[in-house]
C-alpha cells in the first residue's frame, strides 16, 4: 500500500518527567515503521540526544555534520532535508539532536517572534516524504518542546508505573491546555504507553490499574501492552536495533515488535 492510501502523521513522544524511556518507545516505533515498509523520520528534540546516539552512532564528541539546532537556528536556517541522516537501519531517517547547541538555539528562539512556529516551519518542506514523523521531545516545556507540540498532529505520552507517573501526566496535560488557550492549538492525545513495568512488584500493578482508570475516565486510550523493565530491551535500544532484529528472535522480542506495530497503527491519523 503506497502513500496514496495513508496520510502523514507527526507524533510528539513526550513526558515532563525524565527517565521514563521515551527513547525506547521512539526507537521501537521507528523500527516498527521500517519493518512494515512505512517511511519514517525520527526528530530528536532532546538535548541529551539519546535517539541520535543509539540510531546513528553520532555522539556529543563526534556529532552529525548538521543537526536540528542548525535547522531551527535563524542564523543558519538550514533546510531540514540537509540535516537528515540515515540510521544504522537504512529505512529509518533521523534529524539529529544538536545536543548543547539545541539548548542555545532554544534560548535564542525565545527572544524572537514566532519562535513557537519554528518546528512546523522546518518540517513543512519534508513532511510529504514521510508517513510518520516521530518527535522525541525533551522532558521539559521549553521553547523547542512547545514548538514541537505545536507542529504535531498528536502526542503519545510515555509513563512508567512509579508513584510520580501521574504527576508527569498531569503536567503534560496542563502544557496541552496552555497550547490550546494561548496558541489556539488543540493537540489530541493519541494515547498513553506504559513502560518499564516490573511484573513482580505489587505497587506497579496498583499504579497500572490506577492509570487504566485515569485514562478511561478521561477517554484517553492506553496503547499496546505495558512494556516490561528488561535489560535486553535497553541493550537492543542502545545499539540502535529493532526488536525484530534480535539475533535469536526470543518470544519477548517478537511480542514487543508486534506491540510497537500495534501502537504505530493507533497513532496514525
For the stretch 176-228, pLDDT in tens is: 999 999 999 999 999 999 999 998 999 999 999 999 998 999 999 999 999 99
In the structure, what pLDDT confidence band is assigned to residue 167 with cuts at 50, 70 and 90? confident
- Does residue 81 lie within any of the structural domains? yes
- Does residue 179 lie within any of the structural domains? yes
- Does residue 197 lie within any of the structural domains? yes
Give the helix ranges, DSSP H, for the chain: 22-35, 50-56, 68-72, 80-83, 100-109, 118-127, 143-151, 165-183, 202-217, 231-238, 251-267
What CATH number did the domain enclosing 169 receive?
Answer: 3.40.50.300
Residue-level pLDDT at 165: 74
Assess contact for 23 and 237: CB atoms under 8 A: yes
Percent of the chain with pLDDT over 90: 80
- Does residue 1 lie within any of the structural domains? no
Q: pLDDT tens-digit profile of 99-128?
A: 999 999 999 888 888 899 999 999 999 999
Please give the Cα distance from 88 to 57 (Å, whole number).
8
The boundaries of the domain holding residue 208 are 14-268
> What global pTM score does this model have?
0.94
In the structure, what pLDDT confidence band is assigned to residue 6 with cuts at 50, 70 and 90? low
- Does residue 216 lie within any of the structural domains? yes
228-256 in b/e form (b: 16+ CB < 10 A) is ebeeebeebbeebbbbbbbeeeeeebeeb
- Does residue 2 lie within any of the structural domains? no
Q: pLDDT tens-digit profile of 16-60?
A: 777 788 999 999 999 999 999 999 999 999 999 999 999 999 999
In the structure, what pLDDT confidence band is assigned to residue 1 with cuts at 50, 70 and 90? very low
Residue 136: HSE in the Cβ half-sphere, 13 Å Cα cutoff: 32
- Does residue 70 lie within any of the structural domains? yes
- Does residue 111 lie within any of the structural domains? yes
Provide the domain count of the chain. Answer: 1
Radius of gyration of the chain (CA): 18
Amino acid at each position: 500500500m503506497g502513500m496514496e492510501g495513508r496520510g502523514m502523521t507527526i507524533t510528539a513522544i513526550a513526558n515532563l518527567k525524565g527517565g521514563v524511556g521515551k527513547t525506547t518507545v521512539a526507537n521501537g516505533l521507528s523500527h516498527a515503521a521500517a519493518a512494515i515498509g512505512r517511511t519514517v523520520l525520527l526528530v530528536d528534540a532532546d538535548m541529551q540526544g539519546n535517539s541520535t546516539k543509539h540510531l546513528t552512532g553520532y555522539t556529543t564528541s563526534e556529532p552529525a555534520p548538521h543537526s536540528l539546532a542548525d535547522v531551527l537556528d535563524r542564523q543558519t536556517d538550514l533546510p531540514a532535508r540537509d540535516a537528515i541522516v540515515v540510521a544504522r537501519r537504512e529505512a529509518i531517517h533521523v534529524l539529529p539532536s544538536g545536543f548543547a547547541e539545541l539548548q542555545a538555539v532554544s534560548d535564542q528562539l525565545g527572544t524572537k517572534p514566532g519562535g513557537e512556529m519554528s518546528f512546523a516551519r522546518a518540517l513543512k518542506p519534508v513532511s510529504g516524504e514521510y508517513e510518520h514523523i516521530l518527535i522525541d521531545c525533551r522532558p521539559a516545556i521549553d521553547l523547542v518542546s512547545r514548538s514541537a507540540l505545536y507542529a504535531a498532529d498528536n502526542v503519545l505520552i510515555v509513563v512508567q508505573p512509579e508513584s510520580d507517573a501521574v504527576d508527569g501526566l498531569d503536567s503534560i496535560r496542563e502544557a496541552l491546555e496552555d497550547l490550546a488557550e494561548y496558541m489556539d492549538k488543540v493537540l489530541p492525545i493519541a494515547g498513553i504507553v506504559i513502560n518499564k513495568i516490573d511484573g513482580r512488584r505489587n505497587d506497579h500493578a496498583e499504579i497500572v490499574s490506577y492509570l487504566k482508570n485515569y485514562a478511561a475516565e478521561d477517554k484517553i486510550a492506553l496503547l499496546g501492552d505495558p512494556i516490561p523493565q528488561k535489560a535486553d530491551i535497553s541493550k537492543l535500544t542502545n545499539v540502535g536495533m529493532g526488536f525484530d532484529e534480535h539475533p535469536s528472535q526470543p518470544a519477548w522480542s517478537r511480542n514487543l515488535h508486534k506491540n510497537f506495530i500495534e501502537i504505530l497503527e493507533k497513532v496514525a491519523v
